[in-house]
Amino acid sequence: MISNRVFSGVQPTGSLHLGNYLGAIRNFVDLQSDYECIYCVVDLHALTQWQDPAELANNTREVAAAFIAAGIDPETSIIFNQSRVAAHTQVAWIFSCVARMGWLNRMTQFKEKAGKHRENASTGLFTYPNLMAADILAYLATHVPVGEDQKQHLELTRDIAQKFNHDFGVEFFPLVEPLIFGEATRVMSLRDGSSKMSKSDPSEQSRINFTDSADEIARKVRRATTDPEPLPSEPAGLAGRNEAANLVGIYAALARVTVADVLAEFGGRGFAEFKPALSDLLVEKLVPISDQMRRLMDDPSHIDAILAQGADRAAAVADPVRDRVYEIVGLIPA
């Protein structure tokens, strides 16, 4: 059995933001030295909510460009988009027949995204975790780097793997481990420290996008909601101060230090001093990535070639797994 294969994905649903970077993409980059890595632009997942067809293909390229600009090497890691490898949907159907309604009913992301209009949500949004399980298990991946918000879906992936193995009397699918690390595993909105920074938040002010200029970053940080107190000297002093905790966490993650280290430096100082230091750090880390993304997006055919080649490499791994699944369940003779 494979012991160290990483799989993860990002949806091409709009402008990528700091939460996607610190919760996922930067960790994708770091893992390349120790794992065999497969990174997917999950375009089929994006369709669970309406996407403008004219924008979807471009958003897919943009996520691929962000992967590469952030430091994922398409020669060593596999970068591709989900819809090009049929095994994802083929295995997902099998998992739809393994997962239980009760399991999916418990998924908090469905409840949040469907909101009050549950009856109007697409059935794809409801069964999304089955496809996510197939994304991962079609590669027999063992580790999945994600932000905190995806933890429940990974637990469901483990439940599906376990039930499949049990129902068919095999030891085929591994039980995946989430890799949730860094000081900002759940980056919060700049406007409201109790809600997640998200692409679908209608307020542009709530998030820092990969594509924001240095001026836009500085303006958003300046306007970020805070409280009037100076920063505490110890992490315990951040309890009940969501907005302050969020900004300090972002700083710590970007600087690759602990929250305690940041407070040792800034404790007792007000946001008038801390915010400019945070914007400088954000600009230093994000602007080179967005510059490189822009250069890559100037040559879409190059990105398309990387995605096509990545899909061939991905299919070479996933197709035999799909075939074995078909044999196990009896769709093709063993």
Nearer to ligand AQP, 13 or 226 (CB): 13
Catalytic residue flag (residue 116)? no
CB–CB of 146/154 below 8 Å? yes
Judged by CB under 6 A, the residue of 147, 174, 232, 249 near ligand AQP is 147
Give CA–CA dist 125/55, Å, rounded. 20
Active-site position among 151, 163, 199, 285: 199
For the segment 18-57, give every residue that binds ligand AQP (CB under 6 A). 19-20, 23-24
Catalytic residue flag (residue 199)? yes
Does position 178 interact with ligand AQP (CB under 6 A)? The reply is no
Report, in Å, the least distance between residue 145 CB and ligand AQP: 7
Does position 199 interact with ligand AQP (CB under 6 A)? The reply is yes
Stretch that binds ligand AQP, among 33-41, 83-91, 147-155, 252-260 (CB under 6 A): 147-155
Measured from the Cβ of residue 115, the count of other Cβ atoms closer than 10 Å reads 9
Nearer to ligand AQP, 67 or 173 (CB): 67
Residue among 139, 78, 138, 87 at smallest CA distance from 306: 78
143-145 and 78-81 as β-strands: parallel, antiparallel, unpaired?
unpaired
Catalytic residue flag (residue 113)? yes
CB–CB of 218/283 below 8 Å? yes
CB–CB of 32/76 below 8 Å? yes
Nearer to ligand AQP, 51 or 165 (CB): 51
Query: Which amino acid makes up residue 290?
Result: S
Give CA–CA dist 275/277, Å, rounded. 5
Residues that bind ligand AQP (CB under 6 A): 10-11, 13, 19-20, 23-24, 146-147, 149-150, 185-187, 196-200
